[in-house]
Structure 1
Amino acid sequence: MDIAVPRRSERLPGISMAGFRQSLPAPVDIAMVAHPGVTLLVDLSEGEGIVCDSRGRRERGSVVIGLMPGDLRAGGHVGECLQLRLEPDVAAAVLDASPDLSGAMAPLADVWGRDAARFEDRLRATASWDERFRIAAEVVGQRMRARTPVEPEVAHTWRRTLTSRGRMQVDSLAGEVGWDRKHLWSRFRSQLGISPKRALRLVRFDHAAHLLAAGHAAASVAAECGYVDQSHLHREVKAFTGLTPSAVAVAPWLAIDDVAWPTSSPNRSPATAGRYIPECR
């Protein structure tokens, strides 16, 4: 499978894109590993195309997937698809409403209405991935600018969750933005569709999963990621994927991450986390 990534000029903050193409459509059946982002999977295949299964629900064609459920599988005869990963604070604006990020899946048409078909048509009209990335950046950027962003305190909390790789306490996050724990929990959950605690767990798991895929031993991964012990790591991996750490280490979905999503590599230093400065209102 050929993988394309956008030029720097087509990248938007909080959004990652990758294009996938097979010279001949071929049967695919792959388990998708949970990651801290909302996924737009835009099916550009001819014929049967992509079929996604999650929790007994099956959807064909382009879909929106909340923070990836552990039992999600993508299959069908896949020729081409465009995948966008949206960080939750971005997804809240791009998807028109507070998304359910607990792992729900819905057809893109149910979320964007007629705009979904127009978006697909524009992407199908060109075979150039550079042009497709430009179109995607244009469409998503317009939606972001047309909608009210999440509160800066919520956006800061999400950013700190990422830069700390999930190794913070909710009370500490609340203290950074001048809120109490209950208020942060309420605002974060209502705007991003996930609790601060689950967000921390998911980001920490994502870092651990990539270390496992890079060949690190489970015991060292548990220590580096702040789990109590190897058994704690095993329980968390099982909770998010239904798999053991050894099975996650060889998951095909993670094997392509360094190519499709190079900025997600756990060996790269996270962005510097600045101190929260409230906006003047």
Structure 2
Amino acid sequence: MTSTGAPPDWTTVDIAVPRRSDRLPGISMAGFRQRVPSPVDITMVAHPAVTLLIDLGEGDGIVYDTPGRHERGSVVIGLMPGELRAGGRVGDCLQIRLEPDVAAAALGASPELSGTIASFSDVWGRDAARVEDRLRAAASWDERFTIAADILGRRLDARSPVDPEVAHVWRQTLTSRGRARVDSLAGEVGWSRKRLWSRFGSQLGTSPKRAARLVRFDHAAHLLAAGHAAARVAAESGYVDQSHLHREVKAFTGLTPSAVAVAPWLAIDDIAWPASSPTRNPGTDSPRHRARELGAGGCHERQTAVRDHC
């Protein structure tokens, strides 16, 4: 997920990322530790992955609100949850992103999750509390990543994957940054447009066109956060014009492109998941975005300062 809000004052967040050996195809992880336990009020927006947030802090836990839905603690967030806010005091939190085809296999609930938020226990099952306890008791982020990778790997081995045609279309959608035509993708896998639409929707919980819009928006959002002008972002991301970009950004976030450009969580996103950022702005080493390698053990811990209004 990305966010359009942050704590109202300077807050230091330690970010840990796993070693390469703990990385699984279609799955990315990052650990977050809020070093100053001040209350958080974050508006989150869609990301082209099913997001698993495991709350490892002590106390009441993080609270999530969507229209008509309220959850606390560890949650699974579908591809397009609409308006979503997270609040409360954040301690340690493990965030896992699963690409839709992987989520469908690992969670077995991706279609039902599209556009929704659900508790971790509802999706994962009776072992959810045991997983949380193991992760919370781990001595380091390095150990937590290893545990999470092992658990997810075993679930993937035990479950049927999505159709290879569906996985191929998703992969091409991601690779093309949402610009591949649905008819062309259907032709690549030897399916009719109707069959692709049906199978893609039943297994991933969204349509190929909607998935393409989401991937294209995510690419544009990172370009905006990297400091590029909206007109250039529109052209590079495949939008008809700047007005088209504005409408899509508004539809996904409720914000203007200029507001998305300074969304604090995108700065953190660039550190925790640098592969999702199409470019890096040389000027990001500023008061808005400071990062330094702390170099500890097998995982890489990074410290980022983020401010709400810059």
TM-score (ref. length: structure 2):
0.84
**Which amino acid in structure 1 is aligned with residue 275 of structure 2?**
T
The DSSP-based 3-state class of the residue aligned with 2:30 is strand
- How far apart are 1:24 and its partner, in Å? 4.1
Q: Percent identity?
A: 81
**Structure 1 runs (4+) greater than 4 angstroms displaced:** none
- Which of 146, 155, 174 matches 1:143? 155
- Aligned mates of 2:279, 2:259 — CA distance in 1: 21
1:205 aligns with: 217
**Which amino acid in structure 2 is aligned with residue 27 of structure 1?**
P
- Aligned mates of 1:41, 1:99 — CA distance in 2: 18
Deviation sequence 1:173-193 (CA, Å, 0-9, x none): 101111110000000000111
Checking the alignment, whether the CA contact within 8 Å between 1:95 and 1:112 is kept in structure 2 is yes
Q: Counterparts of 1:103-182 in structure 2 under 5 Å?
A: 103-182=115-194
- How far apart are 1:20 and its partner, in Å? 0.3
- How far apart are 1:98 and its partner, in Å? 4.0
- Which of 272, 279, 291 matches 1:260? 272
The DSSP-based 3-state class of the residue aligned with 2:38 is strand
**Which amino acid in structure 1 is aligned with residue 253 of structure 2?**
T
Checking the alignment, whether the CA contact within 8 Å between 1:234 and 1:244 is kept in structure 2 is yes
- Which of 234, 239, 246 matches 1:227? 239
- Which piece of structure 1 moves more, 104-113 or 259-268? 259-268
Checking the alignment, whether the CA contact within 8 Å between 2:44 and 2:85 is kept in structure 1 is yes
The DSSP-based 3-state class of the residue aligned with 2:57 is coil
- Aligned mates of 2:159, 2:75 — CA distance in 1: 21
The DSSP-based 3-state class of the residue aligned with 1:25 is coil
The yes-or-no answer on 1:40 pairing with 2:20 is: no
- Aligned mates of 2:51, 2:25 — CA distance in 1: 15
Checking the alignment, whether the CA contact within 8 Å between 2:41 and 2:85 is kept in structure 1 is yes
- Aligned mates of 1:267, 1:101 — CA distance in 2: 30
Deviation sequence 1:199-218 (CA, Å, 0-9, x none): 00000000000000111111
Return 5+ residue gaps in structure 2 as ranges: 1-12, 281-310
**Which amino acid in structure 1 is aligned with residue 237 of structure 2?**
C
- Aligned mates of 2:181, 2:112 — CA distance in 1: 23
- Aligned mates of 1:120, 1:67 — CA distance in 2: 23
C-alpha root-mean-square deviation of aligned residues, in Å?
1.2
- How far apart are 1:96 and its partner, in Å? 2.0
TM-score (ref. length: structure 1):
0.93
Checking the alignment, whether the CA contact within 8 Å between 1:31 and 1:253 is kept in structure 2 is no
- How far apart are 1:243 and its partner, in Å? 0.9
Deviation sequence 1:35-58 (CA, Å, 0-9, x none): 100000000111122111122422
Figure out how many residues of one structure are paired with residues of the other and give that number: 268
Q: Counterparts of 1:90-109 in structure 2 under 5 Å?
A: 90-109=102-121
- How far apart are 1:101 and its partner, in Å? 4.6
Checking the alignment, whether the CA contact within 8 Å between 1:30 and 1:252 is kept in structure 2 is no
- How far apart are 1:30 and its partner, in Å? 1.3
The DSSP-based 3-state class of the residue aligned with 1:99 is helix
- Which of 47, 62, 65 matches 1:50? 62
Higher relative contact order structure (alpha carbons within 8 Å, sequence separation ≥ 6): 2
Checking the alignment, whether the CA contact within 8 Å between 1:93 and 1:144 is kept in structure 2 is yes
- How far apart are 1:267 and its partner, in Å? 2.7
The DSSP-based 3-state class of the residue aligned with 2:147 is helix
2:229 aligns with: 217
2:254 aligns with: 242
Checking the alignment, whether the CA contact within 8 Å between 2:234 and 2:245 is kept in structure 1 is yes
- Aligned mates of 2:229, 2:165 — CA distance in 1: 37
Checking the alignment, whether the CA contact within 8 Å between 2:109 and 2:123 is kept in structure 1 is no
The DSSP-based 3-state class of the residue aligned with 1:18 is strand
- Aligned mates of 1:144, 1:182 — CA distance in 2: 28
- Aligned mates of 1:252, 1:265 — CA distance in 2: 14
2:39 aligns with: 27
Change (3 A) 1:265 1:247: same
